[in-house]
Every structure is written in structure tokens, then in C-alpha cells.
Amino acid sequence: MKKEMIEKSYQLAKERYAALGVDTDKVIAEMDNINISLHCWQTDDVGGFEKAGSVLGGGGIQATGNFPGKSKTIEQMRADLDKVMSLLPGKQRLNLHAIYGEFGGETVDRDQIEVKHFQGWIDWAKKRGIGLDFNCTCFSHPYADDGFTLSAKNEKIRKFWVEHTKRCRAIAAEMGKQLGTPAVHNIWIPDGSKDTPVDRNGLRGQLKKSLDEIFAVKYPKKHLKDSVESKLFGIGSESMVVGSHDFYVGYAIRNNTMITLDNGHFHPTEMVGDKISSILQFVDEILLHLTRGVRWDSDHVLTFNDELLLITGEIVRCNALKRVNVGLDFFDASLNRIGAYVIGTRSAQMAFMYALLEPGKTLLKFEDEGKNFERLALLELLKSMPFGAVYDYYCMKSKVLVGQDYIDEIMKYEKEVLLKR
Ligand code: RNT
Ligand code: ZN
């Protein structure tokens, strides 16, 4: 896109927003403080680099599609991530799962992983001046096949996953230490039951016991931030999920951890955006897994929709940008995976920008004075304000391709790199 056109559109947009009392330059400056954590698993459909070349299995999470070009090696994954980051304004973080270590062709079971398997990633991140986040991988493993990991009643299996998760926290803390920015470690387990269980209580007791063992090891907050992720149901865990929202909200408040809000993990009419002002009354920080569930937790590529806008809008209205860690969680194998990343991350950025461009004081005044018509009218008018011109200008200022130009760049990468794999 032409520089002049972008600048001209921005000047007009700036005036339009200024008329509402909104300073677009300030908003653009604020955007650089929103560091979205890119989930590495969109590059390879949650495969990972364990020796057997693990394929996503168990836990009811699923990537569908067979678009060519998925990354099969660490080098390919890194190249893809570099490409993605080169097309995004601002700075991102990288969110790794434990199956993405550099195991050098060895079989390293999950209860054996160490920092050395992730040192390459730490060095990679250091070179780019970005932070890392981390996740234990309690699925795609024979010990997860029975449907229970940290909540297993089988002591051998439970201990195995406790050991795995402890190691993952240790690795994450080391990432945070070496990179000088705390790593978020997130725990999600697939545990649940297809049919009606009779001992929900016993299973939840087991999970609590496991978490207590895991969190008994303390790390400085400046190195590690812990989070726990709930879910409503999954394929194969339709009747009960051990780590439900109630369970983890209780656990997080009592044990001072963060809570992960994945917006695919609730009833379709339930809005995660509505939960933010409740949860932030009681926990210090939250982790987001931004996604787009289509009829179920389908992990479609994130788009700029009402659900996302309520989430970002509420974060800004709660003045909570500093208390929210932004992660993404979608994996679609039916289209160019690199393009999927850029679409999803840009949509998230644009949603934050849209939220920051809201004339908050005016809206609040209307609301407090009972001026409901004025509030609704302004909210509706905001939807046709030129926020796209502000985002375009932000991209240009950040020296990344603007507007549709990134589509061509991705098609070029597909032809030159992805299709040759
Ligand atoms: C699954 C959870 C979880 C995973 C990733 C791969 O339903 O959303 O966050 O998607 O850890
Ligand atoms: Zn998630």
C-alpha cells in the first residue's frame, strides 16, 4: 500500500477520533506494550518433536485438514515463526509446549525432560529479544490414553505426570531467568469422562493433591508465573471434566495462581469477556487463550468478532492491560498455517486497538447518568469509525507490510518454502 495513502487516511482518522476525545497517537504507543504470545503449535498441528514424531492424540483436541507445508523440524518451525513475526507490528512472545524440545533423536520421556532440551529455544528467543512461555504436555502419550493424568487414581500414572509438570515449571522458571521476563507456565489436562462417573469427588481430590505437590516448589515471580486452564467438555470427556472452571477458580484464588481463560472452553452462549471483571476482583493476573470456537472448542483461526471484542473491551475498561497475559490457542491445518497465525494475531491486535480507541469517559458518563440511548448510539457509531486506518498506520510505523500486502508475501513464502517441504 502507498505510504501517502496510509498517512492521509491516518490523519483523517486521527481527527475523527480526536473529535470524540480519543488520542490515536497515544493508542498506537500503547499497542507496543501488548505482547501477544504466539502458540508454536499452529505451525505443525500440535505434533511436536519427540522421537516417535508424535501426532496429536487423546484429550479431544483435534486439528483437521491436510494443507501442505507443515513444519516437521525445529529449523522449519523457527523459519516459520520468524516469517510470522516479520509480518506483525510490535513484539511478540513465543509459547512452547513440552513436546517441542530439542531431543537430538533420543527418546526422552516426559518425566525426563530438562532445561538442556530447551536451551536452543532460550538462545533463539534471546537473540530476538523476546520472552518465552511454556506448557506441560499431558496428552498424546500412552499414559494419557485412559483419560486421566494428574487426576489419575493409578499412582504410577499420577506420579509420572506430577514429575513431568514439576520439570516443566523448572524449565519455564529457567527460561524466565535467562530471558529476564517471567515465563508463564500453563497447566491444561485432558482428564475427564465420556460417561457419567460416580466418583467426581475422588477425581477432583486427586487433581488437587497433584497440584499441591507440583506447586510446593516455589520460584520467584520474576521468573515464573503459574496458570491453570479449565474446560467445559471435550470429545471423550463429555459427561465430566475434572479440571472444570469452578475447580480452577477455587484453586487459583486459594493458591494465588493465575487462571487461564480459553474462550473455546465455555458454553457457546457464555461470554469470557463477562468473566474478566469478576475474576480480576480475586486474582492478580489472568492468561488468555484467544481462539474461535465454531459450535464447539474447534480452535478455528481467531477473527475480529464480537466475542473477541468483548474480551479486549473489558480488559481495557477494567484498566487491566498489565494484569492480562495474552496467549493464542488455535490450530487449523486446512489453510496456510503461517497465514493463519498472521490473521489471528493481527485480529487480536486490532481488537485491542479497537478497545483502546473507545471514548471510555464519555460512555461511562452516559451510563452513570442513565443515558442509555446515548450510550448505545455511540457504541454503535464506533463500529464504523476508521480504526483500520489507525492499525494500518501502526503497521507502517512498525515497518511491517500494511493491509492486503501481507497476503502476497505469504503466498510467496508458500511457493518458495512451504510447498517444497
Ligand atoms: C485444550 C486447551 C489447551 C491446548 C494446548 C495445546 O483444549 O485449550 O490449551 O489447546 O495446550
Ligand atoms: Zn487453551
Give the model's pLDDT for residue 51. Answer: 77
CA 232 to chain centre: 18
Give the model's pLDDT for residue 82. Answer: 98
Contact 81, 38 (CB under 8 A): yes
Res. 181: pLDDT tops 70: yes
Give domain status of residue 171, yes or no: yes
What is the arithmetic mean of pLDDT over 175-189?
98
Cα gap 247→232, rounded to integer Å: 11
Ligand 1 atom at shortest distance from the alpha carbon of 229: 9
> How much distance in Å is there from the Cα of 149 to the middle of ligand 1?
15
Q: Which of 61, 187, 233, 288 to mutate to test the pocket of ligand 1 (most atoms within 8 A of CB)?
A: 61
The answer, yes or no, to whether any atom of ligand 1 lies below 6 A from the CB of 289, is: yes
Where is average pLDDT lowest: 101-105, 123-127, 309-313?
101-105
Q: Which of 356, 385, 406 is the last residue of a domain?
A: 356
Same domain for 249 and 383, yes or no, is: no
Mean pLDDT, all residues of the chain: 96
Contact 137, 186 (CB under 8 A): no
Query: From the CA of 290, which ligand is nearest?
Result: 2
Same domain for 306 and 366, yes or no, is: no
Same domain for 109 and 228, yes or no, is: yes
Give domain status of residue 164, yes or no: yes
Q: Which of 305, 321, 356 is the last residue of a domain?
A: 356
Same domain for 1 and 41, yes or no, is: no
Same domain for 230 and 284, yes or no, is: yes
Q: What is the CATH number of the domain that holds 56?
A: 3.20.20.150
Amino acid at position 248, single letter: Y
The answer, yes or no, to whether any atom of ligand 1 lies below 6 A from the CB of 262, is: yes
- What amino acid positions are annotated as catalytic residues? 188, 229, 231, 262, 265, 289, 297, 299, 329
273-306 pLDDT, tens per residue?
Answer: 999 999 999 999 999 999 999 999 999 999 999 9
Where is average pLDDT lowest: 7-21, 60-74, 397-411?
60-74
Backbone φ and ψ for 385, nearest 5 degrees, come out as: -75, 155
Same domain for 342 and 365, yes or no, is: no
Cα gap 52→62, rounded to integer Å: 19
Give domain status of residue 50, yes or no: yes
What is the arithmetic mean of pLDDT over 317-325?
98
Give domain status of residue 28, yes or no: no
Same domain for 294 and 221, yes or no, is: yes
Per the structure, how many domains does the chain have?
A: 2
Same domain for 172 and 307, yes or no, is: yes
208-259 pLDDT, tens per residue?
Answer: 999 999 999 999 999 999 999 999 999 999 999 999 999 999 999 999 999 9
Q: Which of 356, 378, 406 is the last residue of a domain?
A: 356
Same domain for 371 and 296, yes or no, is: no
Query: From the CA of 288, which ligand is nearest?
Result: 2
Give domain status of residue 27, yes or no: no
Element containing residue 325 per DSSP (H, E): strand 324-328
Cα gap 165→224, rounded to integer Å: 13
The answer, yes or no, to whether any atom of ligand 1 lies below 6 A from the CB of 263, is: no
Give the per-residue SS3 of 28-57: HHHHCCCCCEEEHHHCCCCCCCCCCCCCCC
The count of other CB atoms within 10 Å of the CB of residue 69 is: 18
Give the model's pLDDT for residue 393. Answer: 98
Element containing residue 413 per DSSP (H, E): helix 405-416
Element containing residue 316 per DSSP (H, E): helix 306-317
Give domain status of residue 205, yes or no: yes
Give domain status of residue 136, yes or no: yes
Element containing residue 366 per DSSP (H, E): helix 360-368
Same domain for 65 and 142, yes or no, is: yes
Same domain for 7 and 80, yes or no, is: no
> How much distance in Å is there from the Cα of 71 to the middle of ligand 2?
21
Same domain for 175 and 200, yes or no, is: yes
Domain that holds residue 393: 1-22+359-421
CA 221 to chain centre: 20
Give domain status of residue 29, yes or no: no
334-365 pLDDT, tens per residue?
Answer: 999 999 999 999 999 999 999 999 999 999 99
Give the model's pLDDT for residue 1. Answer: 79
Res. 55: pLDDT tops 70: no
Closest CA to ligand 1's atom 6:
46
Catalogue the E-assigned strands of 85-230: 93-97, 132-135, 183-187, 192-193, 224-229
Res. 58: pLDDT tops 80: no
What is the arithmetic mean of pLDDT over 133-152?
96
| Block residue for cell numbers 526422552 | 108
The answer, yes or no, to whether any atom of ligand 1 lies below 6 A from the CB of 297, is: yes
- Enter the pTM of the model: 0.97
Closest CA to ligand 1's atom 7:
61
CA distances to 16, 36, 53, 293 from 335, rounded to whole Å, are: 37, 22, 22, 17
